[in-house]
Structure 1
């Protein structure tokens, strides 16, 4: 069994469509940047609220006069920047590391302006630069982080020499020191709380991204495994062609021999051998067609209902199950191009069900929105919990024979290549395996025939 050709050609577009459909829910690097930008937007709203409260408390509680109009202008700038950031977040263009860096630079510029208007480096809230550097270290590349450190240092030096002094109403040195310490304490609590909240959430986003990349590496290794098996299967199919043809010629010669022809038992055995050889030839041809060879014989236009009906009937004749309950509720019907490899995938699931339950196999097919859903049930012992936990991993099988577990591994990867889903669950009696295939991957026959 090999990966369907149409799935190989559509793999990249399916991945892109899947990300778009999830609206960034998949924890890939771009989605992680979106989440981090959203965290920065939330932090900026908190900064706006904190600045408003601090300005009002300083002006009216501590009775320290501030340039309210100018400081309100900075607050309005942050509000406008947040609205713009939300519009960017809703767009379809990817969020880059550079955009996160620019967002932090704007926040640093706003903080510098507020500090410039309220005492410069002597303002106890000057240590909020450390919060922005900490966020930068978590979100940005090392190059951008060091640029942010340099920018914050330059802003600090600037505020030492250039700032607008504020008139402190208290004349005693102890009162001024006490006021400064209280401001430092408020700044410390604010910075510590924000660092814990946002660093925890950023760390979760980064761990999701790392898990996604690890999953991609695992999938790449699995697909490489499939490619190697496909090459081996294709090579074996080529090699088997010659001995099968030789045996077929010898059988034809034997049938012409009068001595053998007169023996009815031998004649029946030769007929059965010839039928089995023809079956082997069809299997070899199917492998070659699925791997992209012998293309001209493999593409057959049909409908989904017809494809499933023929597939189930072919399996019923070749496997002769004791009892097969088949229900095809797919409606409305659609045109597709029959794919030999997809047929082999479904055959594999049927075979597994029959191995688990010789007495009964149930198959249902239906349409759910834009998907074909095939459920295969049996009344066997069900899946072991360890098998369900590692469903689709190669060589994970309870059959205890060499190569066990490769069937479901290949089924899962072929279904995934088509953009579908594969699941298995235990029922009260037996198990149920469900294949969910998008109709777009089955009905688009142009690529398949190209």
Structure 2
């Protein structure tokens, strides 16, 4: 079974989230700050600076903002290239202002980190590298080429060359570190957001299927008696209309169509669950229902439970929550995908806990990612053998993340391990040597008959729309 596609977003699509209006507002803030700094430098500190060129640089930025306001609609979202050009413009404009006001001798040189941080947060990796490289080039040029700051009496304000070199080193390191740090954190946030969205979609789909099954089962139950009555009446008419062949044929058609309706409702109701009585089921029944789509894929799926736990009638009845069914289904799918021939689903229960272990006889989890199993988008480089065994598998780890998230939502704790060294030379087929996933619930979280989540008993309630 191929990995489901949930329309996950890449960096190119995310760059389209930024509105032009947001960038305009940020640029206005920068323009006001630059004007205040120039005014303070001239009137309060008495510094001699090239005000004409400085105001020209600020004016170009303001004119660009005004053009963007009047030309483009307020709800315009920037493309990747448009975002990149705006960030580069701000970077070059700031670099030009610093070149007019002392270069790296100016303490405001640290503002060069702003555009770099923005690019790392919203743009693709390629664009971030371009912006970072441009910033490093500008900082390097500013360390050597700039107009000096002069005090009111004409003295040049500068720091020792060693400190200028230190500032340059610090700026280059900061540009690289902040870019990498921001990119990494933003990527983690986006990956988690995508994975949680996929989890929510999977849960919503499972919930809809469960609700639909309940409606179908209720319809089949309610329509059973009228169909039986129609069947009985039509059968009597067939016997009484032997002297009227035309009417007898119509009665036979009614009987056939009643049978057809009964068969359709029976087929539709096979997966339907009565809303009250089947909100809960024995543990192994729920497990087998979850694993059913993968039970006939060429691998044996064996269900066992601890002999000391009791007979089947003593099995705990657990809640048929969509997150439990879908989570277990993903775990079984993963085991079937990688098993050589057999998957074992072992159950054990006590008065306090319910435990499931899903084991396969495959190669197990790769040791290098074992500690990160359950995180979204965790993959490793596939060998030719891996591609041949499971060519449709993308290796993103999204299925296990969905399973882990849904099962933890139901109160479970998951643990991942290997039955043996996946790269050992003495593995034997048919043994528990592959991946092991252990799912443990506090019994009160999923017990349908006792505890905080017990299902009420009684007659079925009428469905309301």
TM-score (structure 1 length as normaliser)? 0.38
Which structure is richer in relative contact order (CA contacts within 8 A, separation 6 or more)? Answer: 1
